[in-house]
Amino acid sequence: MIESDPVQKDEFKHFCKPALSHSHPLQSPSSPSTTTTHHPPPLLSHSQGSNFLLITLPSEVWFHVATFFNARDMLNVSGLSRAWRCLSLDDVLWKALYERRFGKLTQILIPPLLSWKDFYAAHKIYKGGWDTACMGRMLVTRERHTVSHGGDFLGSYQCVRGAIPVSSGICYWEISIDRLCIHQTGFHVVIGAIPSSFNYWHTYLSCNGGWGYLADGRKSHNSGNGEAYGSKYVEGDIIGVLVDMNAHSITFFRNGVSQGVAFNNVYGVVYPGVSLLTGGQRVSMVKVENLKFPYRSK
């Protein structure tokens, strides 16, 4: 049997404290950077009985191996041993995983007590369809993913909200513009988020507390005018909505391209929302299996 060196045992105890004490405090983009030397824990594997065998490769090598893991790999190795669990909770590794999937932080801030693993896990793809009990004169089809204005061409503003609330974390969904005549712009279609108190009948999305991205590129919150924001969108476009409840912000995307942060005043519980003005207009919630989180550093 290979005996564990006493020095290595002490080092193992130092790095494998209960629940792992992170030695890398999170820094927001505006915080001054600090230089910290990272010492990964030595990794042990189970042998027969209750003994441990020290893996002969240096712990730095195993840390380098772990930099190639994805999130599922990190979760899988956490059950191999106490040392692997320590490594699977390491903030440096989870920060690298985050930046590889979502891009480097720009305007998005991290709550000071949130680990990089928890921050990674806070990113969610919206999994709800439209709520048929919370809508105006609308027609909902395709397993509650598609909604059409139920009136005639003269029209009236009608809204619908998503079936699942968003109250924490960072949530993303996409709306496809299925049918929209070329002259239907501005408040004809508004996409965004609404509070639970929103009135769905005879009103457009960006009033009564809603936050909206208009078809002509303007944005609006509690206003009938709107202000300059991003690109206009037309039939066939995909509009992404990123709600960050940590930063209290909403960012819109058109065909995968960020239009920038639109609002920084989003508090409480919100829902996906859409308002349509005239008969024949139709939009759809993009299904989960077709969604990918946007790369936010662009």
pLDDT digits (tens, 9 = 90+) for 243-283: 999 889 999 999 989 999 999 999 999 999 999 988 889 99
> What pLDDT score does 106 carry?
57
The segment with the largest mean pLDDT, out of 4-13, 68-77, 182-191, is: 68-77
Mean pLDDT of the chain: 78
pLDDT given at position 102: 78
In degrees, rounded to 5, the angle at the alpha carbon of residue 79 between the alpha carbons of residues 77 and 81 is: 90
Q: Are 217 and 232 within 8 A, CB to CB?
A: yes
The pLDDT assigned to 51 comes to 33
Output the CA torsion sign for 75, 86, 113, 67.
negative
pLDDT band, residue 187 (cuts 50/70/90): confident
Question: Residue 19: pLDDT above 60?
Answer: no
Angle at the Cα of 29 from the Cα atoms of 25 and 31, rounded to 5 degrees: 60
**Structure confidence at residue 208 as a pLDDT band (50, 70, 90):** confident
Question: What is residue 137's predicted lDDT score, i.e. its pLDDT?
Answer: 83
- Which whole-number Å values give the CA distances from 178 to 54, 63, 104, 145, in the listed order? 60, 48, 33, 12
Dihedral angle computed from the Cα positions of residues 144, 272, 95 and 88, in that order, rounded to the nearest 10 degrees: -40
Q: Return the pLDDT at 112.
A: 54
Q: Which residues pair with 45 in a beta bridge?
A: 53
Residue 114 CA to residue 197 CA, distance in Å, equals 30
Q: Tens digit of pLDDT for each residue in 46-103?
A: 443 333 434 566 778 888 888 899 999 999 988 888 888 888 999 999 989 988 887 7
pLDDT value at residue 6: 35
